[in-house]
């Protein structure tokens, strides 16, 4: 069977690329030929630009040549990963070309990531709800589609309700999205594992072995950096490890871009992102996928909860896999000893693997046409 994936694959975001890769590999493993549909909505086309963007020129003028080059290097490495690992279709520049590509598949899978977050896609492009003609012979399903947060723009509910009827099977990433689908379209859905749980990633990991021990920090919420800094300094003092930080290239640079870092790593490729987590002594993150890969690689971790919108996804991880004791508010006392204990990680990984098996079975049944909701 020839299968297409329609997802957010175009950003300079580790989670977005790695979830697309994980889903492609999982569908391939079921005996299919899988491609990621290379469609970028018009309002997201900035993600396809090279180094010559206003933000890069700002970096060049304001923060110097080194940072400008490092941002360009990150863009190059992400684009290289997409070409090498995602098995992209030809670029679809508009809906007409998207329709032509979709018609070549036996099945189309929408997801994962926040493809159903109406605060992102609502007024811009409802293609992830399939607001375009689909041939009758193309089976449509979603896998780990996510609406991101509870407060969705209700202006599109009526339209979305009718569009969701096109899906033969609906797989979502969390309870919030399941409730969204139920309230908007009165349809049930299956909560499946994030695609990053479905593959080992051994084929794309960087093989570089660091020459020293380190605590890895991967944090995204800039408004909380002051709070993060206090936490990191306390942890550094107790553990005595240098802090290596992965810079998020989607942020505007600062003179001190990451809180408490002894070494800040710019231009990190997706493969090296994985190996940095795998080789770390321990990890401090506020990232959904930073948390998932820490568990996959059995690295002791603390996930920082700053009260932002992204914590809805962390709450779901806590409830589903029993990691609530490792998700800590930045406004409470944090015990650094958590980063020296790993006895609980095997139990959490067992939960991961059970959900992975369940999710692979969902994919198999949905693609074979044996699951309708």
Q: Is 136 within a domain?
A: yes
Within a domain: residue 206?
no
Residue-wise pLDDT tens digits, 24-35: 999 999 999 999
Residues with Cβ within 8 Å of 251's Cβ and at least 6 positions away in sequence, in order, are 220, 222, 257
- Judged against a pLDDT cut of 50, whether residue 252 lies above it is answered with no
Residue 349 maps to a domain: no
**d(Cα 322, Cα 246) in Å, to the nearest integer?**
26
The CATH number linked to 362 is 3.40.50
Residue of 45, 71, 46 lying closest to 56 (CA atoms):
71
pLDDT bracket for residue 50 (50, 70, 90): very low
Are 112 and 227 found together in one domain? no
Q: Do 325 and 359 fall within a single domain?
A: no
Q: Is the dihedral of CA 337, 327, 209, 252 positive or negative?
A: negative
Minimal CA–CA distance to 199: which of 365, 20, 16?
Answer: 20
Asked if residue 146 belongs to a domain, the reply is yes
Quickly tell me which residue has 């079921």 as its tokens: 30
pLDDT at 63 over 80: no
Residue scoring higher pLDDT (148 or 35): 35
- Find the radius of gyration of the CA atoms of the chain: 20
219 and 93 in one domain? no
The stretch 179-190 carries a mean pLDDT of: 96
Block residue for tokens 């770390």? 280
Q: Verify that 282 and 334 share a domain, yes or no.
A: yes
Is the same domain home to 23 and 97? Answer: yes
Q: Are 45 and 170 contained in the same domain? A: yes
CA distances (Å), origin 171, targets 36, 109, 185, 281: 18, 10, 14, 35
Residues 157 and 244 in one domain: no
Look at 113-117, 144-148, 210-214, 309-313 and tell me which has the smallest mean pLDDT.
309-313
Residues constituting the chain: 373
Answer whether 208's CB lies under 8 Å from 272's CB: yes
Alpha-carbon distance of 336 to 224, in angstroms, equals 19
> How far is it, in rounded angstroms, from Cα 98 to Cα 231?
47
In a domain, 256, yes or no: yes
Look up residue 166 and give its two tokens. Answer: 């096109």
Sign of the four-CA dihedral 312, 318, 323, 328:
positive
CB neighbours of 83 closer than 8 A, spacing ≥ 6?
A: none
Let me know whether 175 and 236 are in one domain. no
For residue 320, give the CATH number of its domain. 3.40.50.2000
In tens, the pLDDT along 90-132 reads 999 999 999 999 999 999 999 998 999 988 776 668 999 999 9
E strand map for 22-125: 33-36, 107-110
pLDDT, tens only, 288-334: 999 999 999 999 999 998 777 667 888 899 999 999 999 999 888 88
Which residues touch 254 (CB under 8 Å, ≥6 apart)? none
Mean pLDDT value across residues 32-52: 75
Residue 204 lies in a domain: no
Same domain membership, residue 67 and residue 109: yes
Percent of the chain surpassing pLDDT 90: 65
Residues 26, 170 share a domain:
yes
Whether residues 188 and 256 share a domain: the answer is no
Which residues lie across from 142 on neighbouring strands?
A: 110, 170
Residue 209 counted as domain residue: no
Q: Is 234 helix (H, G, I), strand (E, B) or coil?
A: helix
SS3 content of the chain, % helix, strand, coil (to 5): 45, 15, 40
* Global confidence as pTM: 0.91
Share of the chain above pLDDT 70, in %: 88
- DSSP assignment of 114-168, as one string? STT-HHHHTTT--GGGT-S---TTSEEEEEEE---SS---GGGHHHHHHHGGG-S
What pLDDT, on the 0 to 100 scale, is given for residue 256? Answer: 54
- Number of helical (H) and strand (E) elements in the chain, helices listed first: 12, 12
What mean pLDDT is predicted for residues 40-51?
Answer: 62
Q: Are residues 121 and 241 in the same domain?
A: no
Query: How many folded domains does the chain comprise?
Result: 2
* Domain of residue 267, residue span: 215-341
């Amino acid at each position: 069977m020839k299968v297409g994936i329609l997802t957010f694959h175009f950003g300079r975001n580790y989670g977005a690329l790695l979830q697309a890769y994980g889903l492609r590999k999982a569908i391939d493993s079921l005996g299919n030929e899988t491609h990621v549909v290379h469609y970028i909505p018009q309002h997201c086309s900035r993600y396809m630009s090279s180094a010559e963007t206003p933000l890069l020129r700002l970096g060049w003028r304001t923060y110097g040549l080194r940072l400008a080059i490092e941002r360009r290097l990150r863009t190059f490495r992400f684009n290289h990963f997409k070409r090498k690992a995602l098995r992209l279709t030809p670029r679809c520049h508009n809906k007409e070309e998207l329709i032509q590509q979709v018609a070549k598949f036996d099945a189309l899978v929408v997801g994962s990531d926040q493809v159903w977050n109406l605060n992102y896609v609502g007024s811009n492009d409802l293609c992830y709800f399939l607001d375009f003609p689909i041939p009758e012979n193309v089976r449509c399903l979603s896998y780990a589609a996510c609406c991101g947060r509870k407060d969705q723009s209700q202006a599109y509910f009526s339209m979305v309700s009718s569009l969701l009827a096109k899906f033969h099977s609906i797989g979502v990433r969390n309870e919030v999205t399941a409730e969204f689908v139920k309230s908007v379209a009165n349809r049930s859905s299956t909560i499946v594992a994030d695609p990053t749980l479905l593959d080992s990633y051994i084929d794309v990991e960087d093989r570089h072995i660091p020459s020293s021990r380190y605590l890895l920090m991967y944090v995204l919420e800039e408004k909380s950096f002051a709070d993060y800094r206090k936490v990191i300094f306390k942890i550094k003092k107790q553990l005595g490890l240098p802090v290596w930080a992965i810079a998020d290239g989607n942020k505007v640079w600062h003179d001190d871009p990451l809180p408490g870092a002894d070494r800040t790593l710019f231009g990190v490729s997706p493969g090296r992102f994985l190996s940095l987590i795998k080789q770390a002594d321990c990890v401090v993150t506020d990232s959904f996928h930073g948390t998932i890969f820490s568990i996959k690689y059995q690295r002791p971790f603390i996930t920082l909860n700053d009260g932002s919108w992204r914590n809805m996804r962390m709450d779901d991880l806590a409830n589903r896999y029993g990691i609530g004791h490792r998700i800590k508010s930045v406004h409470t006392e944090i015990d650094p000893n958590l980063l020296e204990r790993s006895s609980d990680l095997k139990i959490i990984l067992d939960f991961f693997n059970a959900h992975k098996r369940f999710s692979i079975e969902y994919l198999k049944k949905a693609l074979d046409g044996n699951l309708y909701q």
